[in-house]
């Protein structure tokens, strides 16, 4: 009977240690999710988000017309279906972001880092892309063709020429 109690005590200790380990592993991700900025469907026209840490923020389907994101960190953010008409993203970091079905018409993307972003079905009409780095970004071929017609400059942070990052001939 004493061996049963020892086994049971050890078993409970193992379960307790496993439970503590799971809580410690789960808590940081839960905290990270709780601290994620989420502006899904937000009416944020003419807002000022300049020079902010918006890493992993969510702006899905948000109206961001004429908003200012100059110098902000939007890396790994979700911007799906958002409207950035006439917005300033000058010098922003959008690396690794999901920028699909986004309207960036007439936006300022000068010196923006767009590396490894996914920008399918995104519009860049009359967007200033001088010095932007699109290395390894997924962009529709038609949009790349249009951007190559006006691509110039070198990104001051990455040192990559805009034309090279788009694969222009």
Q: pLDDT for 32-89, tens place per residue?
A: 445 678 999 999 999 999 999 999 999 999 999 999 999 999 999 999 999 999 999 9
The pLDDT value given to residue 19: 58
Sorted by where each starts, the structural domains of the chain and their CATH numbers stand as 36-168 (2.160.20.80)
3 state SS for the chain: CHHHHHHHHHHHHHHHHHHHHHHHHHHHHHHHHHCCCECCCCECCCCECCCCECCCCECCCCECCCCECCCCECCCCECCCCECCCCECCCCECCCCECCCCECCCCECCCCECCCCEECCCECCCCECCCCECCCCEECHHHHHHHHCCCCCECCCCCCEHHHHHCCC
Q: pLDDT for 83-136, tens place per residue?
A: 999 999 999 999 999 999 999 999 999 999 999 999 999 999 999 999 999 999
Residue 76 contacts residue 96 (beta carbons within 8 Å): yes
């Amino acid at each position: 009977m004493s061996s049963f109690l020892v086994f049971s005590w050890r078993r409970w200790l193992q379960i307790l240690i496993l439970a503590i380990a799971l809580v410690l592993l789960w808590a940081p991700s839960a905290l990270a999710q709780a601290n994620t900025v989420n502006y899904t469907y937000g009416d944020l026209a003419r807002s000022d988000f300049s020079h902010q840490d918006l890493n992993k923020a969510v702006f899905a389907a948000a109206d961001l017309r004429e908003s200012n994101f100059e110098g902000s960190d939007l890396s790994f953010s979700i911007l799906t279906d958002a409207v950035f008409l006439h917005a300033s993203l000058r010098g922003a970091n959008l690396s690794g972001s999901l920028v699909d079905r986004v309207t960036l018409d007439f936006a300022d993307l000068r010196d923006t880092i767009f590396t490894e972003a996914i920008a399918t079905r995104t519009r860049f009409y009359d967007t200033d892309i001088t010095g932007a780095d699109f290395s390894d970004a997924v962009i529709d071929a038609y949009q790349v063709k249009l951007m190559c017609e006006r691509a110039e400059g070198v990104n001051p942070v990455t040192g990559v020429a805009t034309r090279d990052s788009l694969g222009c001939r």
